[in-house]
């Protein structure tokens, strides 16, 4: 017991001396910092006052035509003072670095003293008597470390031989998946082979973190990696009484923010509503006969209502979801273009309608053996091209979406007026597009929103061409106080099953919208709902961009959100 008491007392007696020494050191550090701050203030004041003096003197010399190199004694002193203050300020950060290691060394010294004290007095009895001593954090040495480069791919000897074989051409690059039975390994080998053949680095193109098995035979051939596109969200979009958080994959700054503002304006005004006017995918083969008369006979046969049932039965055998809706044929000399339209459930439906068309062509061959099928697609469909037939007849989902935006919302949220928006829409979207000879382009930037949602949800991005056909209408209602805005989009081509919709990222975005996969209750309901979401988002985007233009905010917002001062090449390296 005596030993324990003496130990505790010794420890207790040693603590006050340590505290007094630490307080002295802290006072010394505080005095050093104060003197450093005072010195800095003096030199900053000297720099600005001398600079002002010299500028004032030189301006007088310019006015009086006095040579600038003729200096008075006061000006010489001012120049020397300016140079001295500049020199001090330039090396100031260097002085700070000198002080910093000194302070860090002292901090480490104190840590070591504390640790030694605890080591000396951390017996069982001391632990029970003095529980208030806080545990010391581990010492961390702060060093600037250059960012590590992505590790190079390490190949086995077998893989190295395969790379050389691909480079030499003895193994076709497209056959790697089937020969190796490992899609990821095939992509990695192909990646290196491409680098060696082209002599160009693929550093920065990621390989890890992607399911290459999921794209085999359906989404992409001969993969060497994948690209990264950021996904933002706009919303909530209040549409037909439901709220949607809309995913948008884009590299254009300001787009998501602008669409989000439009969603807010729609939301606080009570929401938007949409209606699907038509739902039918098309395919139009081109066939040829020996004469125009013979081609016309097939045209009359196809358009005869009495023959539709047999043709429909033949077409519908291709799928349990495909249902033939109509056939329209047109002639160019002895060539006949036949446009089939059918419903396709929740799939976008290009493959489905193509199979049905092939069944009908095979069926017609028996009655028209002289029919020469030139191509399953004759561009009268018309797929991935701006065409009047899609603008007039529609393709995919034809949707109209509308909303009434209150005057107060236009003024406070959109920062403009109803009159300005109506006038701008007439002169820009309608008259301006007509002057340009636009085909389906009577809008501000519908393709921006369509492309972003298509990329996020796994749609065919090339179908943005006809899917972005849109006419934006604006007019004053309710005695000119409120704004009625609508978008008419006759050919939104979307699906919620098949293609890129089954990839993990795109599937997650569809799930966010609540339209993932096929609708069990009503086939086609999910894809139609997705089409209305696209139209509602376009409505929000049109509303916001037109308001920015009307208020003169377009350039300012793009300078703020769509430009970067960072050196991207250095960041990538």
Identify the structural domains of the chain with CATH numbers, from first to last: 165-215 (no CATH), 231-279+397-562 (3.90.770.10), 285-380 (3.30.70.420)
User: Which residues, 6 or more positions from 313, have their beta carbon under 8 angstroms from its beta carbon?
Assistant: none
Whether residue 283 is predicted with pLDDT greater than 70 in this model: the reply is yes
Distance of CA 310 to the CA centre of its chain: 48
pLDDT of residue 90: 75
pLDDT, mean of residues 233-239: 97
| 78, 53 contact by CB (below 8 A) | yes
pLDDT of residue 30: 61
| Three-state DSSP state, 268 | helix
| 335, 291 contact by CB (below 8 A) | no
User: Which residues, 6 or more positions from 559, have their beta carbon under 8 angstroms from its beta carbon?
Assistant: none
Separation between Cα atoms, residue 460 and residue 451, nearest integer Å: 9
Which alpha helices (DSSP H) does 215-373 contain, by range? 255-268, 292-303, 305-316, 350-367
pLDDT of residue 393: 96
| 461, 455 contact by CB (below 8 A) | yes
pLDDT, mean of residues 13-27: 50
Whether residue 169 is predicted with pLDDT greater than 50 in this model: the reply is yes
pLDDT, mean of residues 71-92: 78
Separation between Cα atoms, residue 254 and residue 251, nearest integer Å: 10
Look-up of token digits 């324990």: 4
- Distance from the first to the final alpha carbon of the chain: 67
Kindly list the catalytic residues: 252, 384, 460, 558
> Is 438 exposed, middle or buried, given 0-12, 13-18 or 19+ CB atoms closer than 10 A?
middle
pLDDT band at 558 (very low <50, low <70, confident <90, very high): low
SS3 string of 529-551? Answer: HHHHHHHHHHHHHHHHHHHHHHC
pLDDT band at 56 (very low <50, low <70, confident <90, very high): confident
How much of the chain is helix, strand and coil, in % rounded to 5? 55, 15, 30
Query: Beta strands 286-288 and 335-343: pairing type?
Result: antiparallel
Whether residue 41 is predicted with pLDDT greater than 70 in this model: the reply is yes
pLDDT of residue 26: 57
| Three-state DSSP state, 22 | helix
Tokens of 399: 């949707």
Tokens of 198: 């082209």
Can you name the residues that pair with 538 across neighbouring β-strands? none
| Three-state DSSP state, 560 | helix
Phi, psi of 514 (to 5 degrees): 80, 25
Can you name the residues that pair with 231 across neighbouring β-strands? 249
pLDDT, mean of residues 251-259: 95
Q: pTM for this one?
A: 0.72
b/e for 253-263, b at 16 or more Cβ within 10 A?
bbbbebbbbbb
Sheet strands (E) in 396-528: 396-405, 441-442, 470-477, 482-492
Tokens of 342: 């059918």
Tens of pLDDT along 366-398? Answer: 999 999 999 999 999 999 999 999 999 999 999
pLDDT, mean of residues 181-205: 95
pLDDT of residue 484: 98
Higher pLDDT residue, 410 or 68? 410
Of the candidates 236, 307, 249, 240, the one whose C-alpha atom is nearest the C-alpha of residue 275 is 240
Separation between Cα atoms, residue 341 and residue 546, nearest integer Å: 35
pLDDT of residue 185: 94
Q: What radius of gyration do the chain's Cα atoms show?
A: 37
pLDDT, mean of residues 270-288: 98
Share of the chain above pLDDT 90, in %: 67
Q: How far is CA 492 from CA 190, 350, 353, 469, 530, in A?
A: 36, 13, 16, 8, 10
pLDDT, mean of residues 420-430: 97
Whether residue 412 is predicted with pLDDT greater than 50 in this model: the reply is yes
Query: Beta strands 231-239 and 242-249: pairing type?
Result: antiparallel
pLDDT of residue 38: 78
- Dihedral angle computed from the Cα positions of residues 103, 105, 111 and 112, in that order, rounded to the nearest 10 degrees: -160
Phi, psi of 33 (to 5 degrees): -65, -40
pLDDT band at 247 (very low <50, low <70, confident <90, very high): very high
Separation between Cα atoms, residue 480 and residue 465, nearest integer Å: 35
Higher pLDDT residue, 261 or 142? 261
Whether residue 194 is predicted with pLDDT greater than 80 in this model: the reply is yes
Whether residue 18 is predicted with pLDDT greater than 90 in this model: the reply is no
């Amino acid at each position: 017991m005596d030993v324990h008491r003496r130990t505790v007392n010794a420890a207790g007696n040693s603590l006050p001396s340590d505290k007094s020494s630490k307080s002295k050191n802290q006072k010394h550090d505080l005095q050093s910092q104060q003197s450093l701050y005072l010195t800095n203030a003096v030199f900053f004041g000297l720099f600005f006052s001398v600079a002002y003096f010299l500028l004032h003197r030189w301006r007088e010399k310019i006015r009086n035509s006095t040579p600038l190199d003729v200096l008075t004694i006061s000006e010489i002193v001012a120049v020397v003072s300016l140079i001295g203050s500049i020199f001090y300020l330039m090396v100031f950060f260097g002085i700070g670095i000198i002080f910093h290691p000194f302070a860090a060394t002292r901090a480490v010294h104190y840590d070591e003293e504390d640790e030694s004290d605890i080591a000396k007095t951390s017996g069982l009895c001391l632990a029970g008597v003095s529980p208030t001593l806080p545990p010391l954090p581990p010492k961390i040495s702060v060093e600037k470390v250059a960012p590590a480069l992505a590790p190079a791919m390490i190949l086995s000897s077998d893989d190295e031989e395969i790379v050389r074989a691909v480079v030499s051409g003895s193994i076709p690059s497209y056959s790697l998946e089937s020969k190796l039975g490992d899609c990821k390994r095939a992509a990695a080998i192909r990646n290196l082979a491409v680098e060696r053949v082209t002599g160009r680095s693929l550093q920065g193109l990621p390989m890890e973190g992607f399911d290459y098995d999921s794209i085999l035979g359906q989404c992409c051939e001969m993969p060497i990696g994948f690209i990264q596109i950021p996904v933002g969200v706009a919303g909530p979009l209040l549409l037909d009484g439901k709220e949607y958080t809309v995913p948008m994959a884009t590299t254009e700054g300001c787009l998501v923010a602008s669409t989000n503002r439009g969603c807010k304006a729609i939301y606080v005004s009570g929401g938007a509503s949409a209606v699907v006017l038509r739902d039918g995918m098309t395919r139009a083969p081109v066939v040829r006969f020996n004469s125009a008369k013979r081609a016309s006979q097939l045209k009359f046969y196809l358009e005869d209502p009495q023959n539709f049932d047999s043709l429909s039965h033949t077409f519908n055998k291709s799928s349990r979801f495909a249902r033939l809706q109509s056939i329209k044929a047109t002639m160019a000399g002895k060539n006949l273009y036949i446009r089939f339209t059918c419903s396709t459930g929740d799939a976008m439906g290009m493959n489905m309608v193509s199979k049905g068309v092939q069944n009908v062509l095979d069926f017609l061959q028996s009655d028209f053996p002289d029919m020469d099928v030139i191509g399953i697609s004759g561009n009268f469909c018309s797929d991935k091209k701006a065409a009047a037939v899609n603008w007039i007849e529609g393709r995919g989902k034809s949707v109209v979406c509308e909303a009434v935006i209150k005057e107060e919302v236009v003024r406070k949220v959109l920062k403009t007026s109803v009159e300005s928006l109506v006038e701008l829409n007439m002169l820009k979207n309608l008259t301006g597009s007509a002057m340009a000879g636009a085909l389906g382009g009577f809008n501000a930037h519908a393709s921006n929103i369509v492309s972003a949602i298509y990329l996020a949800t796994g749609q065919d991005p090339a179908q943005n061409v006809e899917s972005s056909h849109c006419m934006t209408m604006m007019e004053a209602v309710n005695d000119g106080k409120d704004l009625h805005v609508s978008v008419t989009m006759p050919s939104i081509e979307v699906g919620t099953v098949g293609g890129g919709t089954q990839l993990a990222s795109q599937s997650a975005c569809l799930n966010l919208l609540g339209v993932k996969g096929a609708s069990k209750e009503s086939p086609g309901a999910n894809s139609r709902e997705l089409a209305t979401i696209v139209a509602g988002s376009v409505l929000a985007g049109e509303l916001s961009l037109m308001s920015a233009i009307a208020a003169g905010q377009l350039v300012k917002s793009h300078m703020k959100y769509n430009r970067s001062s960072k050196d991207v090449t250095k960041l990538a390296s």
